Amino acid sequence: MLSDRALLQALAELKGNPEQAAAVVEKGHCVVLAGPGSGKTKTLTTAMARALIEDIPDPRGVACITYNNDCAIELETRLARLGITPGDRAFIGTVHSFALSQVIGPYARCVPIGLPPDFKVASKSQMKAAVETAYQNSIGSYGNPHDRWKFASEKRLRDVDRTRPEWRGHNPELADFIEAYEVELRRQGLIDFDDMPLIAYRMIKANGWIRNALCARFPVLFVDEYQDLGHALHELVLLLCFGGGIRLFAVGDTDQSIYAFAGANPELLESLTRRPDVRIIRLRFNYRSGAKIIRASLGALGEERDYRGIDGAPDGDLSFWPVPYGHDNQADTIAGTIIPKLVEQGFELGTIAVLYRAAWLGDKVAAALKEAGIPFVRTDTNALVKRSSRLARFVEECARWITGGWRNAEPPYARMLSQALTLVYGRHASEREEQELSAQLMGFLNASLATVETTHVWLQRFSRELVTPWRKIARNSEQEWDVCAEMIANTDPARDLDLPLAHFAGRVEGSGRVNLSTLHSAKGREFDAVIMYGVNASDFPSARDQQTPASLREARRLFYVGVTRPKKHLSLVFQEHHHSPWVFELYQRSQQN
């Protein structure tokens, strides 16, 4: 239940920051430009709570669109403290989830879009086969269809409105390829994830009554990390907010736009800041990092910004680690010297992160940490638990509960049941369905107490006893059941990948697990100490980064994202006499007063 008291407290906490205080009470279109550590999530969640309590009468509500499920989970956790839970008055999810659950699902049967009532989301293998069939039908037998599809996919994400001249005016062969691919999916009653916002956009544009229905239900649209969400979201915003009556509250930072490969374009956020009907508010204070790290971050970015630390905050610390030879030696130095030194200084393992550009570098660090006996958890593409997967998060929470969490309700059983219901039924389940699912879940958890199973064996039983029966009854279109099979494969004892269940659950002796993450996966997160690994001249920038000015700017932004993750300490590890030129700029800025 929404709490007036919690809201008043949240508003009071923002009074010391005039920009945050102004943003949360703004009642027109608003774009909040929020640098690293500037409290943007607190600003966003407080603005949502205030709108629900003061501006929007029940049963109307708000929608909040995020970049991925991990961002959605973080927002849900923050909003829960203000008494807001996802439901009829608050949608929180990705643009794909919004398109599917709020537009396609409710209205697809009412308009002719070529989808059967029982449409499914295509699997990777189905999408691959559809690409090959479409290529044969539209282009011919020469060349590699999947190489060509990379270009087609970029066009599909960029050219959202196909009534505009550029759809066929710019590379009509790719337009034919895309349309043939979508025809093949529809023939099988399928859509893919990129289809979701595209179909929703076309439905809303062609049917004013759908736009009116969305406006009636969600008078305010909140968007988190706007710079990451791409052209489909931007076109939906223009349609709903600047042509449909919904108020926009967007938060973003063009300096942290690092997902061009997924269709992100910082210019889309910048275009909103040039609109006369939008109020722009800049959050200048960095609550995360010390002054020295903030100064260094501007050297990493290579541009001036009006960011400042909080009076009285510690300066923070930087260290530079030139290591002879390449990545293997650097990984050994991290495991054998840097992490032990940080622990000596009082940092707990769970507050330390090692960041790198690609998952294969994570393999090297993981091997070095394993050899040194240092526990770790990965959040890259080779991770056991995918942070953006709700199912993987749920599995890990179950493991935490049975390895001791049941004693102090951490995690609470009610939260796990809510997660299970969402995975199986989406947002709505009957009382009988809830009772039956709860009985299955509790039976599995109780049978797992005091288990001596390894993670691999426990996951196999989880799959048999929960995933298999739930998959048969699921009516949530956003299914990710194959994630459990991936986790089982990633703990294969034949490849020496299995581990104790308590380790998997994060319940190991000592102070937790070192975080291993790619720079992309670390965005939006913060740690007490960050070790940036492989900051070599050939890696920052790489040869690929230097192919175009745009790719070079994005690489620099990626470097900046890494440098702005730590609160107290930043270590940069690189090959001796072969450091990135940006390291030198960072060092120079860090020495300024």
Neighbouring residues of 380: CB distance < 8 A, sequence distance ≥ 6: 358, 359, 362, 516, 517, 518, 521
CA 467 – CA 478 distance, rounded (Å): 15
**HSE toward the beta carbon, residue 45, CA cutoff 13 A:** 25
Q: The tokens of 44 are what?
A: 């966003």
Distances (CA, A) of 507 to 206, 368, 405: 53, 21, 9
CA 189 – CA 184 distance, rounded (Å): 9
Is 35 part of any known ligand binding site?
yes
Distances (CA, A) of 531 to 346, 402, 477, 523: 16, 33, 39, 15
Residue keyed to tokens 């559809």: 130
Distances (CA, A) of 278 to 86, 93, 307, 345, 563: 27, 24, 22, 47, 31
Helices (H) then strands (E): counts for the chain: 28, 14
Question: Shortest CA distance to 398 belongs to which of 387, 386, 407, 406?
Answer: 406
Q: The tokens of 219 are what?
A: 């008078």
Q: Residue 30 in contact with residue 69, Cβ under 8 Å? A: no
Is 208 part of any known ligand binding site?
no
Is 37 part of any known ligand binding site?
yes
Neighbouring residues of 11: CB distance < 8 A, sequence distance ≥ 6: 21, 24, 46, 50
Is 250 part of any known ligand binding site?
no
Is 93 part of any known ligand binding site?
no
Is 590 part of any known ligand binding site?
no
Q: Residue 152 in contact with residue 174, Cβ under 8 Å? A: yes
Question: Shortest CA distance to 472 belongs to which of 440, 506, 427?
Answer: 440
Q: Residue 338 in contact with residue 588, Cβ under 8 Å? A: no
User: Does the bond joining 266 to the residue before it have cis omega, within 30 degrees of 0?
Assistant: no
Angle between helix 549-563 and 581-590 (nearest 10): 50
3-state SS of 256-293 is HCCCHHHCCCHHHHHHHHCCCCCEEEEECECCCCCHHH
CA 126 – CA 100 distance, rounded (Å): 19
Is 512 part of any known ligand binding site?
no
Residues in the chain: 593
Is 123 part of any known ligand binding site?
no
* Binding-site residue positions for ATP: 34-41
* Binding-site residue positions: 34-41
